[in-house]
Amino acid sequence: MSRLIQTSILFVLLTFSAHAEYAEHAKISVQNAWIRPTVPLQKVTGAFMTITSTTAARLVGMTSPVADHVEIHEMLVENDIMKMRAVPSLPLTADKSLELKPGGYHVMLFGLHQQVKAGDSVPLTLIIEDSNKKRTSVTVKAAAKSATAY
């Protein structure tokens, strides 16, 4: 085998392994995670954030130690009335930010175990599924503050 062919094969192998490594590890970054403070006995609240993944992936769920369950919601207009509804997952396009914000996609926490007070830091765990159906989780701290203060 000539030296040139050997070098080419080595290069292809290296490229392939580097690509496989990249595909397996979607890097997720979350910015500006915040949650609406609640009044005593309020059991539901909303949370918002901007999510960016280095590879195509899906946000397939969330959990939080302060709530019984967490849903991802979308807003839609039905008979001229603005409604919201749970979605099973949201797509993350590679290197394109997904913004969860008031009036758009958002996170809802149900069955709150405690009051969320302004200044609290609430853990939220995002469950991300990559294109190979491999799941990873990312935990962020959502700062409790009102939308008007944002």
The footprint of Cu ion on residues 14-73 (CB under 5 A) is: 73
84 touches Cu ion by CB under 5 A? yes
Please state, in angstroms and rounded to a whole number, the distance separating the CA atoms of residues 74 and 83: 8
Nearest alpha carbon to residue 145 among 29, 44, 47, 40:
47
108 touches Cu ion by CB under 5 A? yes
Q: Judged by CB under 5 A, which stretch of 59-67, 83-91, 125-133, 134-142 contacts Cu ion? A: 83-91
Nearer to Cu ion, 41 or 86 (CB): 86
Nearer to Cu ion, 84 or 127 (CB): 84
Q: Judged by CB under 5 A, which stretch of 4-12, 78-86, 89-97, 123-131 contacts Cu ion? A: 78-86
Give the residue nearest to Cu ion (CB): 73
Strand extents, DSSP E, the chain: 28-35, 44-53, 57-63, 67-78, 81-87, 90-92, 98-100, 106-112, 121-130, 135-144
90 touches Cu ion by CB under 5 A? no
Rounded to a whole number of angstroms, the distance between the first and last alpha carbons of the chain is 65
Residues in contact with Cu ion by the rule CB under 5 A: 73, 84, 108
